């Protein structure tokens, strides 16, 4: 039940990767923009390669920036050629619900042998169709599902049951994390992976009472050292 990091900031990724607690990285154009990425496609290439190199062989998702059939195909081929561990994110359908993306997803996986992460999904039924099309990862946006007044856990439970029963290879990534508690509750509901924004990963790790306890140990440790300062190691 791995955790991925939902970020394109190399220093953030490096920090959590060095701790050994992340098993992959997800990005999208909105995250890249928010993280201050510049330089157009060359900027995306440089950043994606840097992240892929840093975490290899862990998977890195890079999203196409277009919804035109031919450009999705060509971007997917280019992005996946940057590193072996890069998979390509494609949205489930176009901005007006255009259906052609599914055909591209199927073609990328089955003809071009490119791993696809189908994204921007809000329901188990969308994810199931993406899985049938051959997607390696199906990304459901748990926080947005909850924002719409539904419970993401219900969708995750249904989806995991259906995927397991159909022996489809797709792995469920639940993204759009909003609260620390989302991570464990979504994994428990059946997500294969939860992708977490950096500040929530920090929130999972740091507990105010742990801080207080560590402060107590350090305070008392200093006192013990002070009291024992004339004692030799052999005497301890």
Which spans of this chain sit near ligand E4P (rule: CB under 6 A)?
6, 26, 28, 30-31, 139, 141, 143-144, 175-176, 195
- Radius of gyration over every alpha carbon of the chain, rounded to an integer in angstroms: 22
Is the Cβ–Cβ distance between 211 and 25 less than 8 Å?
Answer: no
State the minimum distance, in angstroms, from the CB of residue 6 to ligand E4P: 5
For residue 43, the minimal CB distance to ligand E4P (Å) is 19
Residue with Cβ nearer ligand E4P (36 or 208):
36
Bridge partners (DSSP) of residue 45 are: none
Specify the residue, 143 or 198, whose C-beta has the smaller distance to ligand E4P. Answer: 143
169 is catalytic: no
User: Of all residues in this chain, which one has the CB nearest to ligand E4P in the complex?
Assistant: 175
Catalytic residue of the set 89, 158, 211, 229: 89
* Least distance from ligand E4P to the Cβ atom of residue 194, Å: 9
3 within 8 A of 183, measured Cβ to Cβ: yes
Cis peptide preceding 57, ω within 30 of 0: yes
User: Cβ(26)–Cβ(5) under 8 Å?
Assistant: yes
Q: How far is the CB of 144 from ligand E4P (least distance, A)?
A: 5
> Nearer to ligand E4P by C-beta: 144 or 158?
144
CA-to-CA distance for 213 and 41, rounded, in angstroms?
48
- Strand-pairing partners, residue 108, are none
Q: How far is the CB of 82 from ligand E4P (least distance, A)?
A: 19
CA 35 to CA 38: how far, in whole Å? 9
CB 72 within 8 A of CB 106: no
What CA–CA distance (Å, rounded) separates 128 from 216?
51
In the complex with ligand E4P, the residue whose CB is nearer, 25 or 104, is 25
Contact criterion met (CB below 8 Å) for 124 and 158: yes
Q: Is 225 helix (H, G, I), strand (E, B) or coil?
A: helix
Q: Which residues are catalytic?
A: 89
């Amino acid at each position: 039940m791995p955790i991925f990091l939902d970020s394109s900031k190399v220093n953030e990724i490096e920090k959590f990767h060095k701790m050994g607690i992340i098993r992959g990285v997800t990005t999208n154009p909105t995250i890249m923009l928010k993280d201050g990425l510049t330089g157009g496609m060359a900027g995306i290439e440089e950043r994606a390669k840097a992240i892929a190199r840093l975490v290899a062989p862990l998977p890195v998702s890079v999203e196409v920036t277009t919804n035109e059939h031919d450009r999705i195909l060509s971007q997917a081929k280019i992005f996946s050629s940057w590193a072996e561990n890069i998979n390509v994110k494609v949205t489930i359908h176009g901005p007006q619900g255009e259906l052609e993306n599914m055909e591209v997803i199927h073609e990328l996986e089955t003809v071009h042998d490119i791993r696809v992460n189908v994204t921007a999904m809000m329901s188990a039924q969308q994810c199931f169709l993406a899985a049938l099309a051959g997607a390696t990862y199906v990304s459901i946006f748990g926080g947005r599902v909850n924002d719409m007044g539904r419970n993401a856990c219900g969708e995750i439970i249904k989806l995991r049951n259906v995927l397991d029963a159909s022996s489809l290879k797709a792995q469920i990534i639940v993204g759009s994390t909003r609260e620390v508690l989302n991570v464990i509750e979504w994994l428990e509901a059946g997500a294969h992976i939860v992708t977490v924004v950096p500040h929530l990963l920090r929130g999972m790790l740091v507990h105010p009472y742990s801080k207080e306890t560590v402060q107590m140990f350090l305070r008392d440790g200093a006192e013990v050292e002070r009291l024992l300062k004339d004692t030799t190691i052999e005497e301890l």
